[in-house]
């Protein structure tokens, strides 16, 4: 069976289909834009492979008559050619309105919290049946995971990328400090002494730590703060801040979504902004569905910057 499959090609299938439709060698050859002798050679090969005459000259002398075996194969041939057409078109054509594709986006809690609230509505508005999976990245094998198709894109800082990956800048973000509305300290500028004296909430994505980039920045100027609560999830931050007198320093774009319950103030220390990038493997650059996904991620990044 495998040997027979290896002998078939699309040209033979198209020849079989043209003869079933036209029942005439001259017309079928014209339909396929090949010579009559080339079509006759293909028909001879089909007869050998399928073990049947397939088409017999008509007694009227005009055209050919399909054999019972050829007629029995006609519905299956039509389905096979349709499947081949779909197969060829799938990589080049992507219709978000009907696609059921699953996209896998690897990103830490930080960029997911910033981008997902804009990205998900964008995707669902154009592709209601598409599914999106956000996964935690294994940074040691990002390049391999992208190459193997385990994930479609990775969102991270520049140093998390790997040589050879394609990349686009998504956004640059700065940090601000948040407190609940009605915080006892008031809404005036936050001075360094006050900042260090207040209780802080820290997001420790690896879990359980009580120091981060803010503490490193303070240490450089000989100061320290009091981190009394550490959580792993960004999603918990506004809930905890809203019900306590803790303060927290996080990306502005994330905190701005909760400005009805939180006040945002400038942190009294220099904190370098960070840049988020979109990474993907070059083998996916020409894939229509993947290009559409990248476009939505870039759109969501731009939408957040405009807000």
Judge whether 226 and 246 are in contact, CB under 8 Å.
no
pTM exceeds 0.85 for this model: no
Q: The tokens of 1 are what?
A: 């069976």
For 29-34, what is the mean pLDDT?
Answer: 91
pLDDT value of residue 253: 93
The residues, any chain, with a CB within 8 Å of residue 151's CB and separated by 6 or more, are 104, 105, 106, 135, 137, 145
CA dihedral 37, 41, 46, 49 (to 10 degrees): 170
With a CB cutoff of 8 Å and minimum separation 6, the contacts of 206 are: 232
Which two tokens mark 189? 């500028």
pLDDT at 299: 95
**Average pLDDT of the segment spanning 190-215:** 95
Stretch among 82-86, 104-108, 295-299 having the lowest mean pLDDT:
82-86
Degrees (nearest 5) of the Cα angle 84, 85, 91?
95
Q: Name the DSSP letter for residue 208.
A: S
pLDDT digits (tens, 9 = 90+) for 55-86: 998 888 788 999 999 999 999 999 998 888 77
CA 244 vs CA 135, 228, 240, 241, 290: distances in Å = 31, 12, 6, 5, 43
pLDDT tens by residue, 117-154? 999 999 999 999 999 999 999 988 999 999 999 999 99
Contact criterion met (CB below 8 Å) for 235 and 116: no
For the cut 80, the answer to whether the pLDDT of residue 89 exceeds it is no
d(CA 119, CA 113): 10
Per-residue pLDDT of 153-175, as tens digits, reads 999 998 888 888 999 999 999 99
| The predicted structure's pLDDT at residue 306 | 41
Asked if residues 178 and 255 have their Cβ atoms less than 8 Å apart, the reply is yes
How many other β-carbons are positioned within 10 Å of the β-carbon of residue 273?
11
Residues contacting residue 138 through CB under 8 Å, at least 6 positions apart: 145
Q: What is the mean pLDDT of the chain?
A: 91
> Which among 44, 8, 16 has a CA at the least distance from the CA of 32?
16
In the chain, % of residues over pLDDT 90: 77
Two tokens, residue 162:
């790997």
């Amino acid at each position: 069976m495998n040997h027979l499959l290896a002998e078939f090609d699309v040209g033979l299938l198209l020849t079989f289909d043209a003869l079933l439709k036209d029942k005439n060698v001259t017309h079928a050859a014209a339909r396929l834009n090949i010579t009559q002798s080339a079509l006759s050679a293909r028909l001879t090969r089909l007869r050998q492979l399928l073990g049947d005459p397939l088409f017999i000259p008509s007694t009227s002398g005009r055209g050919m008559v399909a054999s019972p075996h050829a007629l029995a194969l006609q519905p299956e041939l039509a389905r096979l050619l349709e499947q081949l057409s779909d197969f060829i078109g799938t990589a080049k054509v992507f219709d978000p309105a009907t696609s059921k594709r699953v996209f896998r986006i690897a990103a830490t809690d930080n960029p997911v919290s910033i981008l997902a609230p804009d990205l998900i509505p964008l995707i669902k508005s154009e592709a209601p049946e598409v599914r999106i999976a956000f996964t935690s990245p294994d940074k040691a094998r990002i390049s391999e995971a992208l190459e193997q198709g385990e994930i479609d894109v990775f969102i991270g800082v520049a140093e998390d990328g790997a040589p050879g990956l394609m990349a686009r800048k998504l956004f640059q973000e700065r940090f601000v400090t948040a407190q609940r509305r009605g915080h006892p300290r008031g809404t005036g500028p936050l001075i360094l002494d006050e900042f260090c004296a207040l209780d802080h909430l820290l997001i420790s994505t690896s879990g359980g730590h009580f120091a981060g980039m803010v503490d490193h920045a303070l240490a450089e100027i000989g100061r320290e703060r009091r981190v009394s609560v550490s959580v792993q999830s960004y999603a918990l931050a506004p809930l905890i801040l809203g019900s306590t007198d803790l303060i927290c320093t996080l990306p502005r774009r994330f905190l701005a979504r909760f400005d009805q319950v939180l006040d945002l103030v400038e942190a009294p220390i220099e904190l370098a902004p960070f840049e988020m990038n979109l990474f993907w493997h070059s083998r996916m650059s020409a894939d229509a569905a993947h290009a559409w996904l990248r476009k939505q991620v870039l759109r969501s990044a731009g939408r957040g910057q405009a807000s």
